[in-house]
Amino acid sequence: MDTRNFSLRHVGISKEDLPEMLHTVGVDSVDALLKEVYPNDIFLPKEIELPEPMTERELSEHMTELASRNTPYTSYIGLGWYDCITPAVIRRNVLENPVWYTSYTPYQAEISQGRLEALFNFQTVITELTGLPLTNCSLLDEATAGAEAAMLLFNRRSREQVKRGANKLFVDKRLFETTIAVINTRIVHQGMELVVGDYKETELTDEFFGVMLQYPDSVGAINDYPDFVAAIKEKGLTCAVAADLMSLVMLTPPGEWGADVVFGSAQRFGIPMYYGGPSAGYLACRMEYKREIPGRIIGLSKDAYGHPAYRLALQTREQHIKRERATSNICTAQALLASMSGFYAVYHGADGLIEIARRIHSYAGHLAKAAEELGYKQYNANFFDTLLFQLPEGKTTEELHRIALEYRVNLRYFECQNCFGVSIDETTLPEDLNILLQIFAETVGKEAPTLSDVPTDTLFVDKKWQRKSTFLQYDTFNKYRTETELMRYIKRLDRKDISLAHSMISLGSCTMKLNAAAELDVLSNPYFGNIHPYAPDDQAEGFLEMLHNLEGYLAAITGFDATSLQPNSGAAGEYTGLSTIRAYLIDKGETQRDVVILPASAHGTNPASASQAGFKTIIVDTDDKGDVDMEDFMKKTEQYKDHIAAIMITYPSTHGIFESNIVAICRRIHDCGGQVYMDGANMNAQVGYTNPGFIGADVCHLNLHKTFAIPHGGGGPGMGPICVKSHLKPFLPKHIVRYGNGANQVSAAPFGSAVIAGITYSYIRLLGIEGLKRATATAILNANYMAQRLKDTYGIVYSGEKGRVGHELILECRKLKEATGCDENDVSKRLMDFGYHAPTLSFPVHGTLMIEPTESESKAELDRFIEVMECIFQEAQEVAQGKADKEDNVLKNAPHPQYEVCADEWKHSYPRSKAAFPLPYLNDNKFWINVARIDNGFGDRNLLPAMCDCDAFFAELKEQQQQ
């Protein structure tokens, strides 16, 4: 083995494995297989140009060199990002722990209890700090949370408001500019009107349905909102409040003074600034909004034996079910960051958080006092951490700015020449305050005062704003104060979860490939971590070079001309791509183009994105082979010809097949005057051999957290950059702060989740084009190998013209159900007893399992998974043959938790060994499950999204147990 060739570490199949695999598949070579898989008109005529692959060592040196060109200054800029301390115990045991970062969104709740509990902790923090009872386990960032809040208020309009067409949302001008820009991008498509003004002056007529405020506001002031909120309530308006989570530790929660929705960012709960992201956005609301709240909610429920167990609650709200009628579109969120922020609160508890928040506040107050002695005026009468200063008469910020840079300090500057802002954070020390005073003093030519023994708990805020309610009094937030205890708590949780650290996760359409350690190093490098997104460019040279080069690589790989890294998930990418198309059409004067064509098999996020971007959706049937039904396609495109804005198409299709009509489909849409949007979720089957640009698309999004090695993090972070042809380039998202233009802006930070772009960058640099092609070809080989091995038992639902699948395969389970009574869900749960995560369940075809092996799995692991699937198939046959009971069998009762297998009493008609150790390898390596099959309905009927109000829930549970 060439130990310098990293692609041989990334790809699981070796040269030695090939002959047997090719023989099974029935081809002479991988190239021969690819010719049978791809339609021959889509092969790229020439190689994509990318830099030569690096060794791990070379990558490390290269990233160190880039990092050395980032200069993290001390930033007091604020505006939604604050330096903070990630406790090392959380960094090492969560952020750098593959069990946490490689697990998937917890759809399979029985093997996800650890991260579900961590996310439940996060939800508890959010509900308690905001003073509202319902929340989700993260949104993409503060600005998109603001857009979700706007939609929520709109969807909750009263009947009278709907009747009279009340469509105006009032947004106070004191919100962060970025939040306003992103809300504007979003709501304009929904027929809402955004009115930005001063809450003290604007008259709210009948045309308004809601109001948005920020607390403390964008310059740091705490305004007297309660009377205003009471007055708008009288008029039947609702109110959403953007709030700094750390400030709520000290300040009266908005939920206590009338807010219906509170949203913001949890970044300063232990997440580095990362040049903008990722970190978790949050949104809390009143319980009545439970049918409309966006995002994933973790709720407590019970398992088959009545034990409490966590699961995703109220899933019928989501785009996977509601599709174009969905009120939001969150698939990938920020789970890993939400878990980390939850642990930050668990580690510090209420006392620790109070100490941190008070210290921040107290330091800000003492700084203000000392600055005032130098002649500076501080405007915020009430504040938490952010001060708004005016320089003494005759002085301008130009001089201050120059001196601050000499001291490696970033302040917030305004357009007016004599004001500036300072936001204090958790990392600020008395020495830092003295440096600030030194800067202030030098600017005005005075001697700097020195602060010593700065008190850490002086309150500078009026009594009426001081929080009186207690919070986080539960055991979990009181037990883990020492590092040993927290480390063990994190370990206890991670033992409950299956991740890539345990076994292959064959989720179709999710590409759970290797997330290599070397690629992830960037996340722990403080020279990438501690940079504020609004730091001047010369402090982020390395970052900018990396991001710029990555944009180029992604454009080259997709065959397009430009890239935007802003979208923070695939769904956000879809929405961004469609908004870009919309802006282009408006610019062309083709506003009548309001239809998006979608194949029936489209992922739920596609129709949801189309309707969020303000389009109508028209569904085209798929035929028996799983391809777009060309007859229906031609009919519909004829019917809507002049109204087609775009088609959204996934390629290879969500059925895992490279449709041979794809080029003709693109051409037809163009002939109709529409644009082709390619959903890049399946890009892993294209990279290096073909690409959306060559095939004929105009725009695509990429799920960097699938194809390009960013881990899934248990449900995020993700990145969904879009790549476009040149005619769409002028309409790509801008950024209000970075470019002074917020057109089409879709995320708070200019480059979205900038730091994780470094993972993809590293992946591409390690593999080079040769390695990327090896990955693509092997992913296709592995899927076809599996298809051949499983076709005679379960059966494969779709294959292409030459009988081949693409990079994934859909396993037939409907026949199994007919013959044995065991369905795809039973197979999924039984896989857990073997230590495996289920493939994708009933998507895109009901009654099936979709398997995507990816290129990173070894042949031994593929063979073991096949053996397990065959074993489960045989177990189901035992039911058909009458050897196993129809109800009391290993599939129906799966999974078998440890407490059941080890109990003194065993009630089943089959032995314990069959339940828990059905194959010999399990004697060596058993993954123990801690809950039995979870009751989905119970958790929804008794929704419990946080630790408060547990009493009623447990009373109901007890009553049921007694029955």
Ligand X SMILES: Cc1ncc(COP(=O)(O)O)c(C=O)c1O
User: Considering the complex, what minimum distance in angstroms separates the CB of residue 570 from ligand X?
Assistant: 2
Q: Between residues 569 and 930, which has the closer beta carbon with respect to ligand X?
A: 569
User: Considering the complex, what minimum distance in angstroms separates the CB of residue 723 from ligand X?
Assistant: 15
Stretch 75-104: interaction string toward ligand X, x if CB under 6 A: ------------------------------
Counting contacts by CB under 6 A, is residue 605 touching ligand X?
yes
Q: Which residue has its beta carbon closest to ligand X?
A: 570
Binders in 188-217 for ligand X, by CB under 6 A? none
588 contacts: CB under 8 Å, gap ≥ 6: none
Q: Between residues 335 and 766, which has the closer beta carbon with respect to ligand X?
A: 335
User: Considering the complex, what minimum distance in angstroms separates the CB of residue 669 from ligand X?
Assistant: 19
| C-alpha Rg value of the chain to the nearest Å | 28
849 contacts: CB under 8 Å, gap ≥ 6: 508, 794, 810, 811, 813, 824, 827, 828, 838, 839, 840, 841
* Cis amide bond preceding 717, omega within 30: yes
Stretch 867-906: interaction string toward ligand X, x if CB under 6 A: ----------------------------------------
Q: Is 214 helix (H, G, I), strand (E, B) or coil?
A: strand
Q: How many residues bind ligand X (CB under 6 A)?
A: 16
Q: How many CB atoms lie within 10 A of CB 904?
A: 4
Nearest one of 719, 684, 678 to 700, comparing CA atoms? 678
Q: Between residues 569 and 747, which has the closer beta carbon with respect to ligand X?
A: 569
Binders in 246-265 for ligand X, by CB under 6 A? none
Counting contacts by CB under 6 A, is residue 70 touching ligand X?
no
Token pair 């198409």: residue: 649
Nearest one of 168, 370, 128 to 945, comparing CA atoms? 128
Binders in 486-525 for ligand X, by CB under 6 A? 509-510
Among 117-125, 192-200, 565-573, 910-918, which window interacts with ligand X (CB under 6 A)? 565-573
Sheet holding 699-702, edge to edge: 562-564, 722-724, 699-702, 675-680, 644-650, 595-599, 616-620
User: Considering the complex, what minimum distance in angstroms separates the CB of residue 503 from ligand X?
Assistant: 20
Q: Between residues 277 and 720, which has the closer beta carbon with respect to ligand X?
A: 720
Phi, psi of 610 (to 5 degrees): -60, -45
Q: Is 228 helix (H, G, I), strand (E, B) or coil?
A: helix
Q: Between residues 216 and 752, which has the closer beta carbon with respect to ligand X?
A: 752
Q: Between residues 331 and 724, which has the closer beta carbon with respect to ligand X?
A: 331
Among 280-288, 347-355, 563-571, 951-959, which window interacts with ligand X (CB under 6 A)? 563-571
Q: Between residues 530 and 563, which has the closer beta carbon with respect to ligand X?
A: 563
Q: Between residues 421 and 752, which has the closer beta carbon with respect to ligand X?
A: 752
Among 189-197, 367-375, 387-395, 569-577, which window interacts with ligand X (CB under 6 A)? 569-577
Rounded-to-integer distance, Cα 309 and Cα 298, Å? 10
Q: Between residues 703 and 848, which has the closer beta carbon with respect to ligand X?
A: 703
Q: Between residues 703 and 745, which has the closer beta carbon with respect to ligand X?
A: 703
Q: Figure out which of the listed residues 93, 124, 218, 654 binds ligand X, where binding follows CB under 6 A.
A: 654
Contact (Cβ atoms closer than 8 angstroms) between residue 762 and residue 528: no
Amino acid at 163: K
Phi, psi of 596 (to 5 degrees): -115, 125
Q: Between residues 331 and 813, which has the closer beta carbon with respect to ligand X?
A: 331
941 contacts: CB under 8 Å, gap ≥ 6: none
User: Considering the complex, what minimum distance in angstroms separates the CB of residue 253 from ligand X?
Assistant: 30
Among 416-424, 531-539, 567-575, 796-804, which window interacts with ligand X (CB under 6 A)? 567-575
Element (H, E) at 211: strand 208-215
Contact (Cβ atoms closer than 8 angstroms) between residue 813 and residue 791: no
Counting contacts by CB under 6 A, is residue 650 touching ligand X?
yes
Token pair 């297998």: residue: 901
Q: How many CB atoms lie within 10 A of CB 371?
A: 22
Q: Between residues 74 and 105, which has the closer beta carbon with respect to ligand X?
A: 105
Counting contacts by CB under 6 A, is residue 681 touching ligand X?
yes
Residue 793 CA, distance from chain mean position: 37
Q: Figure out which of the listed residues 255, 718, 768, 835 binds ligand X, where binding follows CB under 6 A.
A: 718
Q: Between residues 365 and 806, which has the closer beta carbon with respect to ligand X?
A: 806
User: Considering the complex, what minimum distance in angstroms separates the CB of residue 36 from ligand X?
Assistant: 24
User: Considering the complex, what minimum distance in angstroms separates the CB of residue 958 from ligand X?
Assistant: 38
Rounded-to-integer distance, Cα 712 and Cα 510, Å? 9
Q: In terms of C-beta density within 10 A (0-12 exposed, 13-18 middle, 19 or more buried), how is residue 460 classed? A: middle
User: Considering the complex, what minimum distance in angstroms separates the CB of residue 707 from ligand X?
Assistant: 11
Counting contacts by CB under 6 A, is residue 569 touching ligand X?
yes
For 477-490, give the DSSP string: GTS--SHHHHHHHH
Strand partners, 212: 171, 240
Counting contacts by CB under 6 A, is residue 603 touching ligand X?
yes
Element (H, E) at 409: strand 409-410
For 896-920, give the DSSP string: --HHHHTSS---SSS-HHHHH-SST
User: Considering the complex, what minimum distance in angstroms separates the CB of residue 59 from ligand X?
Assistant: 26
User: Considering the complex, what minimum distance in angstroms separates the CB of residue 931 from ligand X?
Assistant: 25
Rounded-to-integer distance, Cα 455 and Cα 460, Å? 12
Contact (Cβ atoms closer than 8 angstroms) between residue 560 and residue 302: no
For 3-49, give the DSSP string: TT-THHHH----GGGHHHHHHHHT-SSHHHHHHHHS-GGGS-SSPPP
Element (H, E) at 313: strand 308-313
Q: Is 310 helix (H, G, I), strand (E, B) or coil?
A: strand
User: Considering the complex, what minimum distance in angstroms separates the CB of residue 326 from ligand X?
Assistant: 12
User: Considering the complex, what minimum distance in angstroms separates the CB of residue 358 from ligand X?
Assistant: 39
Stretch 325-344: interaction string toward ligand X, x if CB under 6 A: ------xx------------
User: Considering the complex, what minimum distance in angstroms separates the CB of residue 751 from ligand X?
Assistant: 17
Q: Between residues 241 and 280, which has the closer beta carbon with respect to ligand X?
A: 280
Q: Between residues 467 and 701, which has the closer beta carbon with respect to ligand X?
A: 701
User: Considering the complex, what minimum distance in angstroms separates the CB of residue 323 from ligand X?
Assistant: 12
Q: Figure out which of the listed residues 106, 421, 720, 839 binds ligand X, where binding follows CB under 6 A.
A: 720
Token pair 């697990």: residue: 103
Q: Between residues 509 and 744, which has the closer beta carbon with respect to ligand X?
A: 509
User: Considering the complex, what minimum distance in angstroms separates the CB of residue 604 from ligand X?
Assistant: 8
User: Considering the complex, what minimum distance in angstroms separates the CB of residue 876 from ligand X?
Assistant: 28
Q: Figure out which of the listed residues 570, 577, 656, 742 binds ligand X, where binding follows CB under 6 A.
A: 570
Q: Between residues 67 and 139, which has the closer beta carbon with respect to ligand X?
A: 139
Contact (Cβ atoms closer than 8 angstroms) between residue 301 and residue 148: no
Contact (Cβ atoms closer than 8 angstroms) between residue 694 and residue 669: no
Tokens of 620: 């085209």
Q: Between residues 33 and 337, which has the closer beta carbon with respect to ligand X?
A: 337
Among 350-358, 377-385, 568-576, 895-903, which window interacts with ligand X (CB under 6 A)? 568-576
User: Considering the complex, what minimum distance in angstroms separates the CB of residue 333 from ligand X?
Assistant: 8
User: Considering the complex, what minimum distance in angstroms separates the CB of residue 332 from ligand X?
Assistant: 3
What does the binding site for ligand X look like in residue numbers (CB under 6 A)? 331-332, 509-510, 569-571, 603, 605, 650, 654, 679, 681, 703, 718, 720
